[in-house]
């Protein structure tokens, strides 16, 4: 209970920090959009002011409307003083109006004749602010729902696991260990633990020997120490991961762990805490329990929770990456839409069409990112497998990329075994081939070559695709299947960075595997085995 009370404020603080940063980022984006609109208005008004200046040079007697003022050369205003101090022009604005002041020089005499002051209404940014706000709220709501779902799932998992462990502790001899009908690994392991406990508890051997033999059954570190700090017994897992020692000084590099164990010597109570072991780069949950059958001794269990911590970090990184990648297409859409909305009368039909195409392109990119994100977060389910013709499926994917292949003048060479049948899921396989072929097309230079092979190797269906692109470094080869990772050459890529991660995920669910061989500057080959 104490641990939960300590963790709740910590989790709540993380939510507050993320929400605050997210709010500041949204406000900053809105401020940038507003600043961008003001700069556009300034450029437009400067052009008009210079045009009026030219007209005044030709005809000083020209009359203008109420938004244009001609100031004499000796005028004493803040705008004129700003120009006299060396500025090319003066700008002032409030919530509704923007005013620009420029000089009208006499090139023959080299003096300023007068000043032109032009005023206009500022362009409204309400539409852009509303769009950004709605989108930001939508993304935040999705994050909140996802956070709530994961937290609830984690809480349920923790509650069920603790209940199972307490059940074993409460009644090791009479309690049934078939706690639920689930056949998950934890329940199976706890059932096995319960059966072992019953066998050990009913043994006729002395309690100490019984216990010492019992801890050897576990595959995680366990040791027993006394109130003098002497380790009286440790199992093989502890000796393998730490050391075969008789002194608590083995934990000297981890002062917080040593302090925790020493405190239990002074107050031998049951307690659990999680520590980070820097030298091992691992997290362990350490549980201390006084042994009632053995006076003045305490048993310590050390459960490796590094994978759980890594999963939590990966979850947080995933949210951060999605948020970052959503900003780029959103900013592009807002920018082009802003120009279309405010400067429509100054754009040619060709410009309007160009901007509209950019908006459509970024919208498709945004939709692709959302679709790939949903695919990555989809929970594994029982896949329906049917008999599929691997060759036909690959040919269908190639046909869908015919325009992209033609645009880059690529040479596609294929070696396809006819009617190669496999039992698999069509949707998963199509996504695998689509992402690998699209990846090869993207990285192959114009006029390059791609080789695709579908055949049987040692009784298993195989698909391989080779390109003569830039290749991968050794570091990139180890990371290309990570979510949102892109090779350095593709930082400006229009992809989502999830394609190869989806390939890896789908193959895991299908029971297949993928290998990659790459030579820097020569090309890359991916091989899928089903």
Please report the domains of the chain, with CATH numbers, ordered by start residue. 2-123 (3.30.450), 150-309 (3.30.450.20), 315-377 (1.10.287.130), 386-529 (3.30.565.10)
Query: Which is more confident, 176 or 427?
Result: 427
Determine phi and psi for 274, rounding to 5 degrees: -105, 135
Q: pLDDT confidence of 178, banded at 50, 70, 90?
A: very low
- Percent of the chain's residues with pLDDT above 90: 6
Q: How far is residue 46's CA from residue 69's CA, in Å, rounded to a whole number? A: 14
CB 33 within 8 A of CB 338: yes
Q: Is the pLDDT of residue 453 over 90?
A: yes
Edge-to-edge strands, sheet with 297-304: 231-234, 222-226, 297-304, 282-290, 271-277
Q: pLDDT confidence of 527, banded at 50, 70, 90?
A: very high
pLDDT of residue 204: 39
Q: pLDDT confidence of 467, banded at 50, 70, 90?
A: very high
Q: How far is residue 281's CA from residue 306's CA, in Å, rounded to a whole number? A: 8
Q: How far is residue 177's CA from residue 76's CA, in Å, rounded to a whole number? A: 93
pLDDT of residue 524: 92
In 378-425, alpha helices (H):
390-400, 402-407
Residue with tokens 């210079």, as numbered in its chain: 50
The DSSP code for 184 is: -
Pairing of strands 513-519, 271-277: unpaired
pLDDT of residue 109: 58
**How many other C-beta atoms are found inside a 10 Å radius of the C-beta of residue 188?**
11
**How many other C-beta atoms are found inside a 10 Å radius of the C-beta of residue 403?**
9
CB 375 within 8 A of CB 397: no
Q: Is the pLDDT of residue 395 over 80?
A: yes
pLDDT of residue 464: 92
- Percent of the chain's residues with pLDDT above 70: 78
Q: Is the pLDDT of residue 491 over 50?
A: no
Query: Which is more confident, 375 or 466?
Result: 466
Overall average pLDDT of the 71-92 stretch: 80
Instruction: Tell me the per-residue pLDDT of 356-374, one tens digit each, with 9 for 90 and over.
Output: 777 776 677 666 666 666 6
pLDDT of residue 1: 44
Q: How far is residue 501's CA from residue 369's CA, in Å, rounded to a whole number? A: 13
Query: Which is more confident, 17 or 476?
Result: 17
pLDDT of residue 42: 83
Sign of CA dihedral 226, 229, 230, 235: positive
Q: How far is residue 120's CA from residue 498's CA, in Å, rounded to a whole number? A: 47
Query: Which is more confident, 527 or 56?
Result: 527
Stretch among 101-105, 179-183, 245-249, 526-530 having the lowest mean pLDDT: 179-183
Instruction: Tell me the per-residue pLDDT of 154-166, one tens digit each, with 9 for 90 and over.
Output: 888 778 777 777 7
CB 467 within 8 A of CB 523: yes
Query: Which is more confident, 468 or 348?
Result: 468
pLDDT of residue 304: 87
Overall average pLDDT of the 108-119 stretch: 73
Q: Is the pLDDT of residue 461 over 80?
A: yes
Q: Is the pLDDT of residue 451 over 90?
A: yes
- Provide the β-strand partners of residue 453: 415, 464
Overall average pLDDT of the 238-246 stretch: 83
Structure tokens at 245: 């020692």
Mean pLDDT of the chain: 78
Q: How far is residue 118's CA from residue 482's CA, in Å, rounded to a whole number? A: 55
């Amino acid at each position: 209970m104490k641990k939960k009370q300590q963790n709740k404020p910590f989790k709540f603080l993380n939510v507050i920090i993320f929400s605050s940063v997210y709010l500041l980022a949204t406000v900053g984006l809105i401020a940038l959009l507003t600043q961008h609109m003001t700069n556009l208005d300034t450029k437009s008004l400067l052009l008009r002011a210079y045009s009026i200046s030219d007209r005044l040079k030709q005809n000083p007697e020209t009359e203008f409307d109420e938004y244009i003022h001609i100031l004499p050369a000796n005028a004493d205003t803040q705008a004129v003083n700003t120009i006299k101090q060396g500025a090319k022009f003066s700008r002032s604005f409030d919530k509704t109006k923007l005013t620009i002041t420029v000089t009208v020089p006499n090139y023959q005499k080299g003096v300023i004749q007068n000043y032109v002051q032009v005023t206009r209404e500022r362009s409204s940014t309400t539409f852009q602010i509303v769009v950004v706000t709605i989108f930001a709220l939508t993304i935040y709501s999705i994050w909140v729902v996802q956070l709530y779902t994961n937290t609830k799932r984690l809480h349920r998992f923790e509650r069920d696991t603790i209940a199972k462990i307490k059940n074993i502790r409460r009644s090791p001899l009479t309690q049934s260990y078939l706690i639920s009908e689930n056949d998950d690994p934890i329940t199976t392991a706890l059932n096995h633990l319960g059966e072992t406990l019953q066998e050990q508890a009913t043994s006729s051997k002395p309690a100490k020997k019984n216990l010492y033999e019992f801890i050897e059954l576990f595959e995680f570190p366990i040791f027993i120490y006394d109130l003098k700090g002497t380790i009286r017994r440790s199992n093989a897992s502890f000796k393998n991961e730490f050391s075969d020692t008789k002194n608590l000084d083995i934990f000297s590099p981890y002062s917080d762990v040593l302090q925790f164990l020493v405190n239990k010597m002074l107050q031998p109570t049951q307690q659990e805490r999680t520590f980070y072991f820097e030298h091992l780069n691992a997290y362990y949950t350490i549980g201390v329990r006084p042994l009632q059958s053995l006076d003045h001794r305490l048993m310590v269990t050390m459960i490796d929770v590094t994978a759980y911590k890594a999963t939590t970090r990966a979850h947080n990184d995933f949210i951060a990456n999605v948020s970052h990648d959503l900003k780029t297409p959103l900013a592009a859409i807002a920018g082009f839409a802003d120009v279309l909305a405010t400067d429509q009368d100054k754009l040619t039909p060709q410009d309007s069409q160009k901007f509209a195409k950019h908006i459509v392109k970024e919208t498709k990119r945004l939709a692709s990112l959302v679709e790939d994100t949903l695919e990555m977060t989809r929970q594994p389910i029982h896949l329906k497998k049917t008999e599929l013709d691997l060759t036909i499926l690959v040919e269908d994917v190639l046909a869908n990329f015919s325009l992209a292949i033609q645009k880059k003048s690529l040479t596609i060479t294929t070696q396809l075994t006819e009617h190669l049948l496999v039992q698999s899921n069509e949707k998963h396989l199509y996504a695998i081939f689509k992402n690998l072929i699209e990846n090869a097309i993207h990285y192959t230079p114009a006029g390059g070559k791609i080789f695709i092979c579908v055949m049987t190797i040692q009784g298993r269906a195989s698909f391989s695709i080779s390109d003569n692109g830039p290749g991968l470094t050794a570091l990139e080869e180890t990371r290309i299947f990570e979510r949102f990772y892109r090779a350095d050459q593709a930082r400006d890529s229009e992809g989502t960075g999830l394609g190869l991660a989806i390939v890896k995920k789908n193959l895991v669910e299908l029971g297949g595997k993928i290998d990659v061989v790459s030579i820097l500057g020569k090309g890359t080959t991916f091989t899928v085995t089903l």
